[in-house]
Amino acid sequence: MTLDGTNTWVLESAGQAVVIDPGPLRDGHGDAINEAITADKVTEILLTHHHNDHASGARELAEVLRCPVRALDPSLTFGAEGLQDGAAVTVGDLKLHVLATPGHTADSISFWSPQHGAVMTGDTVLGRGTTLVAHPDGQLGAYLDSLALLGALCVEHEVDAVWPGHGPVLENAAVVIDYYLAHRRERLAQVGDAIATLRHTSKWGAITREEPLTKPRELELAQAVVELVYADVDPSLWPAAQLSVQAQLQYLAETGHL
Ligand SMILES: [Zn+2]
């Protein structure tokens, strides 16, 4: 699920550095981060979200580098104030803007560097493939809004590059984000079609808008949808697919399409 592992970003300016998403420090990753730092002082470690593959080594690295850890989630923050949407982090002459981009997780944020014309997206946009929006922490409505926000940022502020949490750097940010939005719409349409098919069966024919589904029924419906939409996918991937479908069902319900 991590593609080639987690990308850790070290940004330096005027003798200062920040480390974004140190990830787990095992397998030489901690040494690689230390070698990448040439600045005199690491001012802070920043986290895009709480998932272990991004955040688990943060505290240990902070103790080595004697700097704070900052994230949107206060439980990850250590030695300084947490980050807020719209805040800015200064590193030497660089300014990083914090953008709340919930959806992959509730606490997902991105960092926009106007000087680099780049946005560091964590898992909100990946270098290849697409992001898992898994129920219940993942929320599709929020995710679509976050993609729209990032898309607008790219157009309005000439942001060309996505520096993702996994996979290679993407040089055509606006195009990639459009693709992400199109992919989500396509998947939602497939789920909508699957529900329409299920409505014609005796078991699911009784689904109506007036009757909100109970939790066990919702789970059962998600399984039935997965079996239709992911029929050609290895069943070992169905549990992850089911969490994604649950997020989609919730979104369809919220927007009056279920
Ligand atoms: Zn993640």
Give residue 154 CA to ligand 1 midpoint distance, Å. 22
Share above pLDDT 70 across residues of the chain, in percent, rounded to a whole number: 97
**Confidence band for 3, pLDDT divided at 50, 70 and 90:** low
Interval 137-148: pLDDT, tens: 999 999 999 999
Q: Can you tell me the mean pLDDT for 128-134?
A: 90
Q: What is the average per-residue pLDDT within 86-94? A: 97
162 CA distance to ligand 1 middle (Å): 16
Q: How many Å apart are CA 55 and CA 104, to the nearest integer? A: 15
Please tell me the predicted confidence (pLDDT) of residue 5.
87
Mean pLDDT of 167-188: 95
- Give 42's strand partners: 17
Distance 108 CA to ligand 1 centre (A): 8
Burial of 125 (0-12, 13-18, 19+ CB in 10 A): buried
The pTM of this model reads: 0.92
The encoded tokens of residue 241 equal 């697919």
How close is the Cα of 104 to the center of ligand 1, in Å? 7
Give the pLDDT confidence score for residue 130 in this predicted structure: 87
Closest CA to 162 of 194, 122, 192, 193: 122
Mean pLDDT of 193-220: 80
Higher local confidence (pLDDT), 180 or 257: 180
The sign of the dihedral angle between the CA atoms of 181, 187, 190, 191 is negative
**What b-and-e string marks burial along 104-123, b requiring 16 or more CB atoms within 10 Å of the CB?**
bbbbbbbbbbeeeebbbbbb
What confidence tier does 213 reach under pLDDT thresholds 50, 70, 90? confident
